[in-house]
Homo-oligomer: A and B are copies of this chain.
Amino acid sequence: MMTTTSDPAVRNGVDRAALFATLDAVKANPDLARFQFRATNRWLTGTHSQGRIRGFYGAGAEDNTRIVDFVLDADHPRVLTGADSGPTPVEFLLHALAACLTAGLANIAAARGVTLTSVESTVTGDINLLGILGLSDEVRNGYEGIKVDLRVSGDAPDDVLRDLVERSRARSAVYDVLTGGVPVDVTVDVVS
């Protein structure tokens, strides 16, 4: 059927019916939108630690669909006295940003009936380590700036594709956190 061809149930790998059903369910019960995500971490040696991600709370319940932990090693590179056993912590931030913009773009394009062909991105972050090395109080510890170069193709005119990316940026959780900041509370327990 033409209708099915032009408006498929699954577009960009996104189940549109499930997406719209999710939106309707949350509209009817906004408490379903409250999520808590979590990561645990264990120091191994030097600057090498291992993170595990699995459980989260959301949609009114503790998730029980994830059946394995996601395991992520992190380390410093050799030039920063690490063993390079994983990406640096600050590199995970760049990855998170690219992944968030990309997932949002796929969802928004699917909702608006645009089929994407490809989405690729390069994210760079400039940082002056005089801050974290404790050698300057005028240089901040974190990135001075982050740049995202996103390359997209799909079955819509250029301005429509650009607008979809802009909508993804405007609703990106990671973009919002990285640009706006978030309160972080650190508590320490000394154990024996």
Residues of A within 8 A of B (CB-CB), count: 133
| Contact pattern, A 70-83, Cβ under 8 Å of B = 1, otherwise 0 | 10101111111110
| Contact pattern, A 105-143, Cβ under 8 Å of B = 1, otherwise 0 | 111000000001011111111111111111110011111
| Contact pattern, A 51-87, Cβ under 8 Å of B = 1, otherwise 0 | 1010010110001011000101011111111101011
A63→B77 contact, CB < 8 A: yes
Copies in the complex: 2
B93→A89 contact, CB < 8 A: no
A residues adjacent to B (C-beta < 8 A):
12-15, 18-19, 22-23, 26-27, 30, 33-49, 51, 53, 56, 58-59, 63, 65-66, 70, 72, 74-82, 84, 86-107, 116, 118-136, 139-153, 158, 161-162, 165-166, 169, 171-192
